[in-house]
């Protein structure tokens, strides 16, 4: 890179694409049916072939697995089901050899109730660890207030030995840490520094906007001391390294995102915000209460984030993760146009400004799963939802419809490596069943096929490396009110691109393409001359150098 482009391109994490691994479902090496770290190591060449520069690893720490590892009982050791600390060190080294950095998942809002701190904390009120958690005095059966936990039931759990309740925003096995206590914060920072010394490339911070809770005032996210805590943590830890940091913040808006991702580096590199992911549900209700995607609103929302964070922050770009259904089933068409729509969604996303995240299997166009009944599901949130809604008198059919559309298990079925038994994920019995469509949809089929979804992702990753306009170009939404077309330009000093996509099953007029007919085609998901009409889910990116005037 010339000095000029280097300056425009900024830090490494603006120029990379991150791949998220959900370890339990990625690759099993010892045939116990659960993915593990040696399994990940065996697939690093696959990831290098895709072209990604970092892997975000969902939690592999010691955990009773009440919430699949998001309930940590020891931050400084690896759960035996995933391997050993030596395996983890080997993963970091082997990844580095392939220019891939490892991003650890930090769950700092809560621990497992089996964490040593909590075991101590509940022994007595004057135990030195008692104040590591959030307690309220009370009488049994009379909760401090009516706050609810995300996974169902009240957010308070009674401990008879202490005559106190502890606060938990997630399951009863995930007690919230007390960030008001400086000792808690110091323990956390020391732990982060320890991982930094091991050579990790960054951190993803689980539900970080919920750490500064004030339960007496009903405050869970965006508490008054939130940014103070984050800045202190960043100063004490992240700023001592050259890391990528991404906070998960369901309560983020464009204003606080500018704080989280302030270019002065005082907080994180970026945040995961979910505004676009909460649009296909009934307003004011839960994600299970389905509604069609309001397409124009969704475009406007994405455009708003692009516009607002331009030069004042940095976006993370994602449509999939381990908590979300598969995007091709959600916003695309997972039947007739599976390939076309998966590529279209990738093209629209990867053309934007920000750091793209690919969730395992997304690069194959993996789809949602439809298990026959609730007994096949494993996710605590899904199981609790089923129980609650059945008790409330919903029809089973209706509950299952929500689960088919939104259950987190849609994303958690094993990675589809090949057409072999269990998709090549394990020779044992997988902890959750494989999606039966692995026979057609799998990595082996796709890797060498230039027309596959995999090849489309590989090309998109490559384009970001070749054309700086993907990194610094200014975003502008076009055809804003159009009900079928998602079109935008990215413009920098000397280049511009047009990203144009048909989001529907019907052909769509796109006169813009006429104006760009002499431009270079960087990527196109149909093997045809691009006219002014786009076929179902057709998408392309055009490039032209700017003539200086």
- How many angstroms separate the CA atoms of 226 and 463, rounded? 37
For 399-484, list the strands marked E by DSSP.
474-478
- Closest residue by Cα to residue 423 from 412, 431, 435: 435
- How many angstroms separate the CA atoms of 87 and 38, rounded? 7
- How many angstroms separate the CA atoms of 415 and 425, rounded? 6
CB of 62 to ligand GLC, least distance (A): 15
- How many angstroms separate the CA atoms of 216 and 491, rounded? 49
Nearer to ligand GLC, 322 or 389 (CB): 322
Number of other CB atoms surrounding residue 204 within 10 Å: 26
With residue 245 as reference, give the H or E element that holds it.
strand 244-248
User: Alpha helix locations (H) across 98-143?
Assistant: 116-121
Tell me which residue has its CB nearest to ligand GLC: 70
CB of 70 to ligand GLC, least distance (A): 3
Instruction: Specify the length of the chain in residues.
Output: 549
Active site residue 289: no
> Radius of gyration over alpha carbons of the chain, in Å?
23
Nearer to ligand GLC, 133 or 170 (CB): 170
- How many angstroms separate the CA atoms of 330 and 336, rounded? 14
Considering 71, 248, 363, 381, which one is annotated as catalytic? 248
State the helix-helix crossing angle for 453-466 and 338-350, rounded to 10 degrees: 20
CB of 402 to ligand GLC, least distance (A): 18
- Residue 176 carries which DSSP code? B
Considering 157, 206, 280, 381, which one is annotated as catalytic? 206
First vs last Cα of the chain: how many Å apart?
25
- How many angstroms separate the CA atoms of 450 and 315, rounded? 30
- Closest residue by Cα to residue 485 from 541, 542, 522, 539: 539
CB of 148 to ligand GLC, least distance (A): 15
Residues that bind ligand GLC (CB under 6 A): 67, 70, 107, 170, 206-207, 248, 322-323
- Closest residue by Cα to residue 357 from 389, 323, 391: 323
Which are the contacts of 456, defined by CB distance < 8 A and separation ≥ 6?
Answer: 342, 343, 346, 347, 523, 525
Cβ 59 vs Cβ 107: under 8 Å: yes
Active site residue 140: no
Nearer to ligand GLC, 315 or 321 (CB): 321
Cβ 475 vs Cβ 305: under 8 Å: no
CB of 10 to ligand GLC, least distance (A): 27
Cβ 69 vs Cβ 60: under 8 Å: yes
- How many angstroms separate the CA atoms of 196 and 469, rounded? 32
Residue 158 tokens, joined: 């009674």
Half-sphere exposure of 1 (CA within 13 A, CB side): 14
CB of 339 to ligand GLC, least distance (A): 28
Residue 433 tokens, joined: 């069943």
The pairing of beta strand 355-359 with beta strand 316-317: parallel
CB of 110 to ligand GLC, least distance (A): 7
SS3 520: strand
Nearer to ligand GLC, 210 or 341 (CB): 210
- How many angstroms separate the CA atoms of 503 and 496, rounded? 22
Catalytic residue positions, numbered: 206, 248
């Amino acid at each position: 890179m010339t000095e000029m482009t280097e300056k425009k391109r900024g830090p490494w994490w603006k120029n990379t694409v991150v791949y998220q691994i959900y370890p339990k479902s990625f690759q099993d090496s010892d045939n116990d049916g659960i993915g593990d770290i040696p399994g990940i190591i065996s697939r690093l060449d696959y990831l290098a072939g895709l072209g990604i520069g970092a892997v975000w690893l969902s939690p592999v720490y010691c955990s009773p697995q009440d919430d699949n590892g998001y309930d940590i009982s020891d931050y400084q050791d690896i759960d035996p089901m995933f391997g050993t600390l030596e395996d983890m060190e080997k993963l970091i080294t082997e990844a580095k050899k392939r220019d891939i950095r490892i991003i650890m998942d930090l769950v700092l809002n809560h621990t497992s109730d089996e964490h040593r701190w909590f075991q101590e904390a509940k022994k007595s009120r004057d135990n030195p660890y008692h104040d590591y958690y959030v307690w309220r005095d009370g009488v049994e059966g009379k909760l401090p207030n009516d706050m609810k936990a995300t996974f169902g039931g009240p957010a308070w759990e009674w401990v008879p030995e202490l005559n106190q309740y502890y606060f938990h925003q997630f399951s009863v096995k995930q007690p919230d840490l007390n960030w008001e206590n400086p000792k808690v914060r110091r323990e956390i920072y020391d732990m982060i520094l320890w991982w930094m010394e091991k050579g990790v490339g960054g951190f993803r911070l689980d539900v970080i906007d919920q750490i500064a809770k004030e339960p007496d005032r009903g405050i869970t996210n965006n508490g008054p001391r939130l940014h103070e805590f984050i800045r202190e943590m960043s100063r004490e830890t992240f700023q001592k390294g050259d890391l990528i940091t991404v906070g998960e913040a369901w309560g983020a808006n464009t204003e606080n995102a500018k704080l989280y991702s302030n270019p002065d580096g005082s907080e994180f590199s970026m945040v995961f915000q979910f505004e676009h992911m909460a649009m296909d549900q009934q307003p004011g209700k839960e994600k299970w209460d389905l509604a069609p995607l309001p397409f124009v609103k969704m475009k406007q929302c994405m455009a708003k984030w692009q516009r607002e964070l331009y030069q004042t922050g940095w976006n993370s770009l994602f449509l999939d993760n381990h908590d979300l259904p598969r995007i091709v089933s959600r916003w695309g068409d997972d039947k007739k146009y599976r390939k076309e729509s998966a590529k279209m969604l990738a093209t629209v996303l990867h053309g934007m400004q920000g750091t793209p995240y690919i969730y395992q299997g997304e690069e194959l166009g993996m789809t949602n799963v439809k298990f026959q009944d609730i007994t096949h599901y494993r996710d605590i949130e899904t199981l609790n939802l089923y129980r609650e809604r059945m008790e409330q008198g919903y029809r089973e059919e209706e509950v299952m419809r929500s689960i088919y559309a939104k259950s987190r298990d849609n994303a958690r079925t094993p990675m589809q490596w090949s057409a072999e038994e269990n998709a090549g994920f394990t020779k044992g019995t997988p902890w959750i069943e494989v999606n039966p469509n692995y026979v057609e949809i799998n990595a082996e089929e796709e890797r060498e096929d230039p027309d596959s979804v995999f090849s489309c992702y590989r090309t998109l990753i490559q384009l970001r490396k070749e054309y700086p306009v993907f990194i610094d170009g200014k975003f502008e939404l076009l055809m804003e009110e159009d009900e079928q077309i998602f079109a935008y330009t990215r413009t920098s000093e000397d280049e511009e691109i047009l990203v144009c996509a048909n989001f529907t099953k019907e052909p769509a007029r796109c006169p813009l393409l006429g104006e760009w007919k002499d431009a270079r085609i960087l990527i196109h998901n149909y093997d045809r001359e691009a006219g002014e009409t786009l076929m179902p889910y057709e998408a392309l990116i055009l490039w032209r150098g700017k003539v200086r005037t």
